[in-house]
Structure 1
């Protein structure tokens, strides 16, 4: 999947490492943020781990040998969904749900308080982000396993809990949360999504270190869990936690 590139002088550059590019997005370094530099996906899932048998290496979490279900809250143009689909949806029966408003209102710099879901960005034309999302996923081998669901996160999560019985019938093996960054929206998304996470499953919260409200909401959620029910796997610009029970 990594291809060599040719610059304007005709020189061949080193292959582009898609994993590292996306981790740059995850840890904030590509946005000029003071990201922790922690390679969250490598640390947690041991993708491309150079020393998987090192004494300092955690036990890898295998999300590729068996079919898995993935949930992403807040997808925008699909860059994280493309990465996740390529690296985690390798089993024929794996699938991913992406939930986002995909509207200019949801991405405006001053979104109404009733809008939950989607990251805060400059306003854009309605449909632009959704079309980009579909286009980006169409170019990845596992894009057909990804379903975009246009609604706010609360509607989706409560509907799933009602349909699947929540605690009795958890659905997802891996959840990536990058939706609203308002403190109590983050807390609500996390609390509802946690009920849909299987035992042994992992949640990665983006922008844990990228904004006070977002980090506070995540901290409130984790603090409310029984310490025997959760294991912190990685803490930096993102926070990765595993559900133990």
Structure 2
């Protein structure tokens, strides 16, 4: 379980995360939704200790992220940020191998090689493993980065807008992959996502933020209601339901 208590972040006189408290149970896909500037990515970064919190606390399976050694925390959770730029030219296999650094400290052992092989196989990247990452398409590169966090072998996988720059086909494939990871690999996937249609179809839980605050949380069925979405986004959204299942949201 990840426990957030009074999580707060300010820049100057602007509060970007305002006393956010939540309990994220282990297992499944958890989506954080909200308009631009709602504080979603900042919350994700504070969980991973990439951004310092001004107040509050984050516990990951009873580990206080403020005091937990980096190598211990890196074995509990991994994060893939929104922008992933490479300053050096790496092959697919080399990049996936970086996920093993918390375990290997740069000296790959047979166990590390097995994790890399499994991650490449799981993402269907074996045929690309010797190619340079910058030679791949956007969708293929995103799979390589996901393979890297799989190789890290953490219980919690944090993803900041993993559908960015992906077309509809690759977005669907990515969301299906994330769901498979929770079922087959036992991961807890927490992602910041803008597309509420994908959030409603593939999430087990949804956290909704507005102006830095956590305004509601629950199952997709509980959150994807016109009045709730209207409050989150300050606009009318029509919800289409067939046989009890949400099939789409339309902006009006």
Q: Tell me if TM exceeds 0.5.
A: no
TM-score (norm 1): 0.36
**Whose relative contact order is higher, 1 or 2, with alpha carbons under 8 Å and at least 6 apart?**
2
Q: Which has the higher strand share?
A: 2
TM-score (norm 2): 0.35
